[in-house]
Structure 1
Amino acid sequence: MTLASLDAHIAALDVADGLKSVLTVAARTCAEISDVVAGGALAGALGASGQINVQDEEQKKLDVMTNDRLTQALLACPAVAGVASEEMDEVQPASNTAGDYLVLFDPLDGSSNIDINASVGTIVSVLKSPTPTPTEADFMQAGRNQVAALYALYGPQTMLVLTTGQGVRGFTLSSDGEWILTHDAIAVSKDTKEFAINMSNLRHWSEPVQTYVGDLLKGADGPRGKNFNMRWVAAMVADVHRILMRGGVFFYPWDRREPNKPGKLRLMYEGNPMAFLIEQAGGKATTDGVEAILDIQPEHLHQRIPVALGSANEIDAFASA
């Protein structure tokens, strides 16, 4: 049996040719990044870069390397009018004036996992550009405007998961560098017994979040009447991938340590693309169990939000906590 390739899948999509080009470039670049990540110390890719990014975080060498690769590849694509990255202060317009798409990305999600050889990934969001010469204001679009979202997970297998608003499909990178369709019509189960959250921050969460998580921890003897397992990879891309594969919920709530920040995760680079994928797979993606991430009108490029997403019935239970 011949398995379909990502190139064949993209070619068959009922979307504009320009979007097909953007997705092809993004997928090809993620395959290249997979090789760099796999090289690790042998490729001189481990350790800190000595630079601080716009998020006031120390960049890893791989943060810089992956950001440069994606930026250069996407800006060279004629269909791209501009890009924005979690690692860059400002948007980067393309030199051409014929591009129709804006691409936003987290080049290497889960950077803290790099030096311990745990899973990391790349997250990509695609919007239509209102103008061929975009400014930052043109990127300020709600997540519902996304025309595509994808992530690549660099784990035991390298996988790419994609939506263009026509369901969610997963592709595995073969030994010869080709993306092969291995997971068709991915769906998130409505119920789950699994949750992902950083429990070390429990004392900093708001009372409703503490109450909800406390109920989960009480298991079958508590008000939920069933036992839950907790998982935490410390890379959103890996935790969301687990939810897409077998259900579950993922939380990164507001906490009291930085009360003036609504959350830690970035709306444009993490929240929106992951919310698009989760909703397309039948799950829910919210800030608090009620407010849909995709309905948020962005106010600035590096806006942060709290996140609660995954199996629909469990997100509803969180909302009523």
Structure 2
Amino acid sequence: MDILTEALGSMRTAYLSSVRTEGRAPWALRLPPVLGAGFHVVLYGTCWLIPLGTGDDAGRQHDPVALSPGDIVFLRDGGGHVLADHPDTPPVDSHTCRVDDASPIGTLALGGDGARTSLLCGNYHLDQGRPHPMVRQLPALIHLPTRHGRHPELAAAVQLLGTELENPRIGSAGIVPALIDSLLLYILRAWFEDQPAASAAGWAAALRDAAVAPALAAIHGAPATPWTVESLADRAGLSRAAFARRFTMMVGEPPMAYLTRWRMTTAARLLRESEAPLTSVAAQTGYGSEYAFAKAFKREFGQAPGGYRREARAA
């Protein structure tokens, strides 16, 4: 069971959106917050990313991040930020710029006649109202350089994207969105694999832990199974108490709480994406009756399953 793919799939609410940004110095672009997670890939040249504060800190610039060719930035919460050739260049708002739709994903061009920078910019539409704990534990900003042999698969994906965007050919309109979609998994896999192997807590540790990883795979692979702490501990080869402590430390919540979370996440996805009757959804998520399922679902989501399905379809 690929838990990373499952976790992201449970949060995806729509297709991604992206644009190619072509800047020539001097240039600076202010991007507002977005629903989901933002990302940038430096295809050519260099630039700076300056995060903007939120809430009482809104509008204030934070320490700029220098970006080089092949670098990738992932913004977990889609926070507002500025991209620029230099931190001191005054930015223009993105909504004032015109996008040329001639290329596979559209191109936004701005700036003067100086040094060129080319970026792939966009956002993945993720439900931040109910983020999976794996995503919630990520840093607000992830910066992944791919130079000097780091993250070879991610670097290869970036190179493929750059080639398709620079010289569109037959099939590019289908290849580019598929590459961008897979980029999210490459980004997060690279970040998780970068984390120290000695780490004792967090999802990076949980996904490679000899006891917790099999339990997570069991929950994700068969949420309808009547799992107990004891049965999961048996799979992990630990005592009930030792397993519960280890699971909670790494995942961030006790085994049964996570089981309920995943069952409800699975149920919500089935309601959004399938025509399965409520009795079937209940059975697929471990509930013996439609009534028991509806009660648990309303406790978790604040509304009945039928109302949730109608609201999701209308959105």
When normalised by structure 1's length, the TM-score is 0.28
Choose between structure 1 and 2: higher strand proportion: 1
Choose between structure 1 and 2: higher helix proportion: 2
Determine which structure has greater relative contact order: mean sequence separation of CA pairs < 8 Å that are 6+ residues apart, divided by chain length. Answer: 2
When normalised by structure 2's length, the TM-score is 0.29
Structure (1 or 2) with the larger CA radius of gyration? 2
